[in-house]
Amino acid sequence: MTHIYIHVPFCKRKCPYCAFYSEPDATPKTLDRYLDALLREIQLRPWPWAKTSTLFLGGGTPTLLGPDRVHRLLTALPHSATWLPHAEVTMEANPGTLLLEQLPAYRQAGVNRLSVGVQSLSPAHLRFLGRIHTAKEALATLEGALKAGFRTSADLMYGLPHQRPGTFRQHAQHLASLGVKHLSCYLLSAEEQTPLHASVERGEVRLPSEATQARRVADMHAMFNQMGWSLYEVSSAAATPSEYCQQNLAYWRRRPYLGLGPAAHSFDGTRRQGNDPSVHQWLTALEANSLPPHFEETLTHQQHSLEILMLGLRTPEGLNPVDLKPHCTPQGAASLEAVARNYASQGYLQIEASRWTPTPQGLLWADALPVWITEEAEAMVVQVYR
């Protein structure tokens, strides 16, 4: 199976913490140009379309396209009549830009899952995050999505300045009580080249310490356990496995995916490709019937190994160490296993013949653990990778 990501790079207003590529609100003419160019990129990019099992409209704010453009896009995809009715088709939606009366039209267009950017139900934190919606609008969007028959996910942020753990827990549990069955919970971070990063550098904003952040992650995981939800990735949980986001699972399992639109990336299992983050250059190239400016790279064995560890150890299902062997020397594979066993003895991993899985403690250090393992293995032998 294959997977598609489509980047819609337009927003009403850029949030100060967001590092994803987007441009200010587009005119209807620009949105029409974007859609025409996107359909041209689809024609120019070879892909086993008939095997598509998930599609994700992300951004930016995809709902700025409106139902008619989304319908035109989805029905124009090759072989869509074959795979679209059976695929998971997710659209990100921001309260404040999504009109509730449009929900049935999006459903009819082929979207069957909404990922709603709630972020917080606290008015003060919504203002701090630069969100254009209120808590009331967020709740109305979720209720409307559920009533319209969408599988519905919500994003929440934690680790905000002056945010109490109990407040975050109340917000998450309130969303679950509405019938939301999937939550993605993200730790606020000051990404470089964002206004938030500049505010932190100037000392105007103080984020929680690393130790406090680790406690917040542990609190979040404990909350889901008490709710009886399945934490299937370090930041995502669902009421039942049927509610897991299949697109995200594909990324974590390193399945092939095609990225379309400015700044979108693709991966075929060996090579990675990414369009440049420029709407102007992307439009200009495609309107001249050429592929947009992009980079391509063939992953090295070292990159493959680190990605296998980094993505696998973000999930409770972990990874199969056999997947590392094509990219490692025999001595390198042995050193990685030796280091992994050492971390298992410290309570970070469980090691079996065909599976390395992170423990609850290991999930708290999902970003650091793969780096620790590879660095220690590289210090043990002359050549770890082929």
Q: Which helix (H) or strand (E) is 187 found in, with range?
A: strand 182-187
Neighbouring C-beta atoms of residue 368, cutoff 10 Å: 12
Predicted local confidence at residue 13, as pLDDT: 86
Quick one: tokens of 276?
């440049």
Residue 159's contacts (CB-CB under 8 Å, 6 or more residues apart) are 187, 188, 207, 208, 212, 213, 216
- Using omega within 30 degrees of 0 as the cis cutoff, is the peptide bond preceding 60 cis? yes
46 burial class (0-12, 13-18, 19+ CB within 10 angstroms)?
exposed
Q: Which helix (H) or strand (E) is 360 found in, with range?
A: helix 360-364
Predicted local confidence at residue 311, as pLDDT: 96
- Residues 359 and 349: their CA atoms lie apart, in Å, by 5
Predicted local confidence at residue 45, as pLDDT: 92
Question: 23-27, 293-297, 302-306, 324-328: which has the minimum mean pLDDT?
Answer: 23-27
- Residues 217 and 367: their CA atoms lie apart, in Å, by 12
Q: What CATH number does domain 2-252 carry, 3.90.1010.10, 3.20.20.70, 3.40.50.620, 3.90.180.10?
A: 3.20.20.70
Predicted local confidence at residue 288, as pLDDT: 96
Residue 255 in this model has a pLDDT that exceeds 90: yes
E strands, 239-386, are: 257-260, 265-267, 271-275, 294-298, 349-352, 355-358
CB 211 within 8 A of CB 219: no
Sole residue written with tokens 């035109």: 72
Which ranges in the chain are annotated with CATH 1.10.10?
301-380
Residue 331 in this model has a pLDDT that exceeds 90: yes
Tell me the pLDDT tens digit for each residue of 347-383. Answer: 999 998 889 999 999 999 999 999 999 999 999 998 9
Tell me the pLDDT tens digit for each residue of 162-190. Answer: 888 889 999 999 999 999 999 999 999 88
Which ranges in the chain are annotated with CATH 3.20.20.70?
2-252
Q: Does domain 301-380 have CATH number 1.10.10?
A: yes
Of 131, 128, 117, 122, nearest in space to 200 by CA: 128
Of 379, 382, 377, nearest in space to 335 by CA: 377
Neighbouring C-beta atoms of residue 338, cutoff 10 Å: 14
Residue 25 in this model has a pLDDT that exceeds 80: no
Predicted local confidence at residue 153, as pLDDT: 98
- % of the chain at pLDDT higher than 90: 84
Predicted local confidence at residue 212, as pLDDT: 86
CA distances from 378 to 330, 344, 346, 374 (A): 13, 18, 20, 6
Quick one: tokens of 287?
């309107």
DSSP 46: -
pTM score > 0.85 for this model?
Answer: yes
- Residues 235 and 364: their CA atoms lie apart, in Å, by 10
Higher pLDDT, 354 or 40: 40
